[in-house]
Amino acid sequence: MSEVSVPGAGWEHTFGSLWLLENCPAANSPSARPQESGSYLDAYDDYNATTDYAVDPPVLCVLKDVRDFSRLFVPVTYSLVCVFGLLGNVLVVLTFAFYKKAKSMTDVYLLNMALADVLLVLTLPFRAVTHATGQWAFSSALCKLVRGVYAVNFHCGMLLLACISLDRYVAIVQATRSFRLRARMRAHHRAICLAVWALSVLISTGTFIFSQKYRLQDREVCEPRYQEVSEPLRWKLLLLGLQLLFGFFVPLLFMMFCYLFIVRTLLQAQNSKRHKAIRVVVAVVLVFLACQVPHNVVLLVTAVKLGKVGRSCQREKALGYLETGTEVLAFLHCCLNPVLYAFVGQKFRSYFLKIAKDLLCVGRR
């Protein structure tokens, strides 16, 4: 049986073999529906129930090429990101644990971000297997755990980036008062980090609640399912809005505000060492934007297009490729964070080399 996905069903189901254009009246007929509807088929009904369009006969859009691309590209890329991301972030954790004690707030945030990235990359093998096989091959409980852990740690990483930006702002822009302010923050570092993790869990509550394993046509999927609640499309848009707001826009605004004043302060300072720091700041911002902006723009476009008519097959194919590519790109920050926030420092590089030397000595024994 060929997979048929209704447009507006969200990015989770855009990789089906066939896609039925939503401005076709026959899409609401019993023969056009799969026998086991997914959560977003019901969400689509909210729009279709009050809409009457005079259109041509149903048109099928074949998205097999998109799915084949996803099956090949995503597992390979996720495997590489998992290996290098796990290696880099474990080295960061080991450095803070045994060599460089977390003394400043930035160190504390870096340690928490490395832990968040370790947990995040551990979810990638499950996602890689899912893309490779085209279905969810694990239990429903593991479905909730994998998607929930991914959501928590993704948001936690973004919020910690904002905290690091704030700490650097206080240290550089508010230099005369930085010692007192940072001392207060350092005294409450556990409470601050706990608040970041708690907020991340709160934002991700919907993912834990709605994610489940269920059968969609002839395959098992692990996706959020909203059909058991009233107004499922509104719930989907609400949760997507929260993800975009707290997972992207809030950290971005924080970083833009902080780094704008940091760069201005550094440019005004007649200090070669501070001028070198500008390159690090610019690199941090550019990498963050390069990894996160494309994926979040695609999510925003998906939300805007949700439930609308007049969507062409060619556009859906292009959106499918973009969703796959930008999602993978967003994961790359797990590999780049250790480089940008730790290994660029001379002292941290020396600690890293010491770890490598100690591990080599242990291996020779």
Higher-pLDDT residue of 83 and 45 is 83
Measured N-to-C along each axis, helices 64-94 and 124-133 cross at an angle, to the nearest 10 degrees, of 160
Which one, of 337, 350, 349, 351, lies nearest residue 280 by Cα? 337
Give the Cα separation of 172 and 291 in Å (integer): 26
Predicted confidence band of residue 51 (pLDDT cuts 50, 70, 90):
very low
- Among 128-132, 172-176, 258-262, which stretch is predicted with the lowest mean pLDDT? 172-176
Predicted confidence band of residue 358 (pLDDT cuts 50, 70, 90):
confident
Q: What is the b/e burial string over 131-149, where b = at least 16 CB atoms within 10 angstroms of the residue's CB?
A: bbebbbeeeeeebbbbbbb
State phi, psi for 15 to the nearest 5 degrees.
Answer: -100, 20
What is the average pLDDT across 100-113? Answer: 80
| Residue 3, pLDDT score | 41
332-341 pLDDT, tens per residue?
A: 888 887 777 6
- Among 1-10, 113-122, 137-146, 354-363, which stretch is predicted with the lowest mean pLDDT? 1-10
Which one, of 111, 99, 305, 250, lies nearest residue 189 by Cα? 111
206-216 pLDDT, tens per residue?
A: 889 889 899 88
Delimit the domains of the chain by residue range.
66-364
> pTM of the prediction?
0.73
Predicted confidence band of residue 176 (pLDDT cuts 50, 70, 90):
confident
**pLDDT higher than threshold 90 for residue 143:** yes
Give the Cα separation of 109 and 121 in Å (integer): 18
| Residue 197, pLDDT score | 94
211-263 pLDDT, tens per residue?
A: 989 988 788 989 888 877 777 778 888 887 877 787 778 888 888 898 889 88
What is the average pLDDT across 103-119? Answer: 85
The residues, ordered by sequence, that sit 6+ positions from 131 with a Cβ below 8 Å of its Cβ are 70, 71, 74, 75, 78
HEC string for the chain? CCCEECCCCCHHHCCCCEEECCCCHHHHCHHHCCCCCCHHHHHHHHHHCCCCCCCCCCCEEECHHHHHHHHHHHHHHHHHHHHHHHHHHHHHHHHHHHHCCCCCHHHHHHHHHHHHHHHHHHCHHHHHHHHHHCCCCCCHHHHHHHHHHHHHHHHHHHHHHHHHHHHHHHHHCCHHHHHHHHHHHHHCHHHHHHHHHHHHHHHCHHHHHHEEEEEECCEEEEEECCCCCCCHHHHHHHHHHHHHHHHHHHHHHHHHHHHHHHHHHHHHCCCHHHHHHHHHHHHHHHHHHHHHHHHHHHHHHHHHHCCCCCCCHHHHHHHHHHHHHHHHHHHCHHHHHHHHHHHCCHHHHHHHHHHHHHHHHHHHC
What is the average pLDDT across 329-356? Answer: 76
| Residue 193, pLDDT score | 92
Which one, of 62, 61, 29, 35, lies nearest residue 48 by Cα? 29
In CATH terms, is domain 66-364 a member of 1.20.1070.10?
yes
| Residue 233, pLDDT score | 78
Single-letter code of the amino acid located at 175: A
Higher-pLDDT residue of 34 and 75 is 75
Task: Pull the structure tokens for residue 351.
Answer: 């600690």
Q: What is the b/e burial string over 11-49, where b = at least 16 CB atoms within 10 angstroms of the residue's CB?
A: bbbbbbbebbbbbbeebeeeeeebeeebbbbbbbbbebe
Which of 131-145, 157-171, 329-343 has the largest mean confidence?
A: 131-145
Higher-pLDDT residue of 25 and 338 is 338
Give the Cα separation of 99 and 264 in Å (integer): 34
